[in-house]
Structure 1
Amino acid sequence: MRRKCLGGILAAMLACTTLAGCSQTTQNASGGETLSTENEATETETAQDDGKVSLTVWAEQANFPLLQEMIDSFEQKYAGQADFDIQLVESADADTKDNLLADVHNGADVFPLPDDQLSSMVAAGALAPVPNADEVKKANSEDSVAAASINDVLYAYPMTADNGYFLYYDKRCLSDTDVQTMDGLLAAAQAQGKKVTMDWSSGWYLYAFFGNTGMDFGVNDDGVTNHCNWNTTDGNIKGVDVEAALLSIASNPAFLNCVDTDFVAGVQNGTVAAGVSGVWNAADIKQVWGDDYGAVKLPTYTCAGQQVQMSSFTGYKMMGVNAYSEHKEWALKLADWFTNEQNQMLRLQERDQGPSNINAAASDQVKNVPAIQAVMDQAQYGKLQRVGNSYWDAMSAFGEQMATGNTNGADPQEVMDTLVDGITQSTVK
């Protein structure tokens, strides 16, 4: 759910458009075509020489080397069965839904997506169902399969079970005790002239301060609008209490509101001692902090005179296939290859990304990756992300306001009322 980053995708997609005229047409037993109208790929179809097979794969730049390694092994496995031209095109995982639905016919053939984008893409008819669903379901965790399914139909291949967030910290600067509470974390960082970062422009991260307060939030049965009482004036913790806590944190000189890329840059230049992020940054953090890289669940924070455990959104990532791919059978095989046990282990080894595959998740190597252990520890305090669209802009505006450390004289209750009105509005942007 990191912030969106578009750049040159249209031109790259046009350059990689599949060349259907170079393919041979496969005939079924009755002489009819069985090409792109079928959802299921059979070994008989793909065992023949399909001629030129051009596929575009969307991915984040940081994952290019890993995916290219998987593409190379895929082409080796199916050598002689087709003339492959598989191209990687940069696209943020958070942008997959918007990019694909903007022009599905010219979209990538294979792409990663977070689980919260699945329902919209299925509703739009953009995803090809998984043909070997039984096999994939047996290989992956029950929760990851559920996250990739709509009405018991599997629409994507589970890939990771670690799409949450937690706290990274530099053990040279912070002790195990310091990172247990936000107060201790900020005090220790300030004493050393260091920063603690978190992205308050994102409702994905900012949910952490509301999730374990006892207040109510979620998507309605229509799957579009939200219910929310974060402006409540009743209960042990009220909406204005969370607001006050956020303003207090933002006013601390050690706190820095910044996006994910700036957190990593701060680690690299030595100004940041800790930050809230996810496993996708584990390799970069480890490269800088080495054996001093620590990762733990989120801390507690002071709210209404008590310590409240910070919550999180949990989630899964998966590989989807464009229902309009001109080489859909091969695209399905490639997505399956990207997410098999072997390549989930490779993803763990090279990018410290937690597997959804049951065998890979049970490996000793998982236990030795602090980031994966941290996201697993945090998951008990998390909630699967299921929200309506109006949540995001409302939370972004609120978070940016909180990050300034003051409300310019605005009435605290009115601030919370404005937030809830935005979250629960019926108009979908």
Structure 2
Amino acid sequence: MKARPAFMLVGAAALTLAMGACSSSGGGTGATTPAAAPTTAAAPTAVTLTVWGPQEDQVDSTSWLPKQEAAFEAAHPEYKITWKNAVVSEGDAGKTVQQDPSAAADVYMFANDQLGTLVQAHAIGQLPPDAVAQVKQQNSDVMVTSVTGSDGNIYGVPYTANTWFLYYNSSKFTADDVKNLDSMLSKGKVAFPIDNSWYLASFYVGNGGTLFGPKGTDETAGIAFTGTQASDVTKYLTGLVKNKNFVNDANGAGLAGLQNGTIDAYFSGSWDAANVKKALGANEGAAQPPSYTLNGSPVQMKAFAGSKAVAFNPNAKNPQAAAKFAAFLGSTAAQQAHYDMRGIIPSDKSLASSASITADPVAVAQMNTVANASTLQPTVAKMGNFWDPTASFGKALLSGDITAANAADKTAAWNTALNS
């Protein structure tokens, strides 16, 4: 037991004398009140937390993950934590965790397209109410839905988005130009990967097409690229691919063209930021996907978006501590630090106004895309039927096999294939 300081002993003695004086006076009962037992702080609970994350976050003690672990310890003196970190990337987390959930990490980072697999393997914990409130406060509906299971429960804390947006040469296009694809095509060369399924869907979803319901989670709803709502988009695309300023972005043609000056804009994600900056320097521009003009009205393109998130393992020996740390890694402060240290663009909406974010056109473009021009990339099993038929449809647009005259029939056949 720790010895009490001398001033505490003196104070206790003085209190005893005072009480004795009171008890000897005529008004007392003769009984004395015993001094309260000294209180001591509860000993911290010993906890071991195994954490999996990408190599770049844990190179040494000054890296993001160790720094966040130290900050968590300082914020939670109720725990005495032994940390065991290991390298497992977000992309590999799902298959690694499900091999043996009971032996997997207590806390790990994952790509949201693995959520269904992790839930089925009982390898991902349902977030407690305080963490659920945090996720809903910090994130857009798309990001919240990205970590919501088919049972309606939330299982991860997003910390960044995975999506695409527009890069452009700001000496060629103004900020107003890049709001509309057709305006851009009237002024310069634009590359877009029509035969890449991940990108092509943006035209159809923008005009009301849906994949597995309005939130992308209802497998029974199927894919609905139907009627004139879809065939009108196909007709538009038959004209787009013939535009003299349109270039299909295949085999890296978009970035290569931006680098050699033959392309003025193309579509990609944050992974290309350094290459674009090197190519354009002070003329680097980035923005959310533009609208396009369909039958005289603007239609906002909507990019597929997913998330990277932090989860805790319900099989952990200390699931409460693990859940708290998962929420901590996705907190506003941790996301800001992640951006400052590694350039990981946050999903937290409140950080869109931070000085460092507003000074970064790529970060602004990604956050605006998620907020204004995105749709959840579905993770249901039947989404597997989407990719190949859509790539083939894009190739048929490029080859001229699909025309304005047969657009309705070709679109209907494509939609049938998507739901087969």
Tell me, yes or no, whether TM beats 0.5: yes
The answer (yes or no) to whether the contact 1:225–1:389 under 8 Å persists in 2 is no
Q: 1:84-123 CA deviation, whole Å, 9 max, x = no partner?
A: 441223453xx65466546656766544345565355334
Rate the CA distance shift 1:270–1:329 in 2: closer, same or farther, 3 A. Answer: farther
For 2:365, the equivalent position in structure 1 comes to: 374
Q: Distance in 1 between matches of 2:373 and 2:193?
A: 18
Q: State the aligned residue count.
A: 364
Choose from 193, 213, 216 the match for 2:207: 213
The answer to whether residue 201 in structure 2 is matched with residue 202 in structure 1 is no
The answer to whether residue 243 in structure 2 is matched with residue 246 in structure 1 is no
For 2:30, the equivalent position in structure 1 comes to: none
User: Residue 166 of structure 2: SS of its match in structure 1?
Assistant: strand
Rate the CA distance shift 1:231–1:356 in 2: closer, same or farther, 3 A. Answer: same
Q: Give the superposed CA RMSD.
A: 4.3
Rate the CA distance shift 1:336–1:189 in 2: closer, same or farther, 3 A. Answer: same
Q: 1:344-379 CA deviation, whole Å, 9 max, x = no partner?
A: 112333416134264x45534433332343345443
Q: 1:175-228 CA deviation, whole Å, 9 max, x = no partner?
A: 3354233234345443xxxx523474234x322101232455533998323334
For 1:134, the equivalent position in structure 2 comes to: 130
User: Residue 127 of structure 2: SS of its match in structure 1?
Assistant: coil
In the alignment, structure 2 segments of 5+ residues that lack a partner are: 1-41
For 1:166, the equivalent position in structure 2 comes to: 165
For 1:155, the equivalent position in structure 2 comes to: 155
Q: Distance in 1 between matches of 2:185 and 2:56?
A: 30
The answer to whether residue 146 in structure 2 is matched with residue 118 in structure 1 is no
In the alignment, structure 1 segments of 5+ residues that lack a partner are: 1-43
The answer (yes or no) to whether the contact 1:340–1:357 under 8 Å persists in 2 is no
For 2:413, the equivalent position in structure 1 comes to: 418
Alpha-carbon distance, 1:156 to partner: 1.6
Within-5 A mapping of 1:16-415: 47-48=45-46, 50=48, 54-57=50-53, 59=54, 69-74=63-68, 76-77=70-71, 78=73, 81=80, 84-92=83-91, 97=94, 100-101=97-98, 104=101, 110-115=107-112, 117-131=114-128, 133-134=129-130, 137-138=133-134, 140-141=137-138, 143=141, 144=143, 148-150=147-149, 153-160=153-160, 162-190=161-189, 196-198=191-193, 200-203=195-198, 205-215=199-209, 217-219=211-213, 223-232=218-227, 234=228, 237=229, 239-252=230-243, 254-258=246-250, 272-282=263-273, 285-286=276-277, 288-304=279-295, 307-324=298-315, 332=323, 334-349=325-340, 350-351=342-343, 353-356=345-348, 358=350, 360-378=351-369, 379-386=371-378, 388-403=380-395, 405-406=398-399, 408=401, 412-415=407-410
Query: Greater CA deviation, 308-317 or 136-145?
Result: 136-145
Q: 1:227-252 CA deviation, whole Å, 9 max, x = no partner?
A: 344241x4xx4x33322333433345
User: Residue 211 of structure 1: SS of its match in structure 2?
Assistant: helix
Alpha-carbon distance, 1:295 to partner: 1.8
Query: Greater CA deviation, 304-313 or 163-172?
Result: 304-313
Q: Distance in 2 between matches of 1:109 and 1:273?
A: 47
Amino acid at match of 1:257: D
Alpha-carbon distance, 1:255 to partner: 1.6
Sequence identity (%): 22
The answer (yes or no) to whether the contact 2:111–2:307 under 8 Å persists in 1 is yes
Rate the CA distance shift 1:231–1:67 in 2: closer, same or farther, 3 A. Answer: farther
Q: Distance in 2 between matches of 1:88 and 1:262?
A: 34
Rate the CA distance shift 1:73–1:153 in 2: closer, same or farther, 3 A. Answer: same
User: Residue 310 of structure 2: SS of its match in structure 1?
Assistant: strand
Q: Which has the larger radius of gyration?
A: 2
Alpha-carbon distance, 1:127 to partner: 0.4
For 1:33, the equivalent position in structure 2 comes to: none
Q: Distance in 1 between matches of 2:384 and 2:89?
A: 24
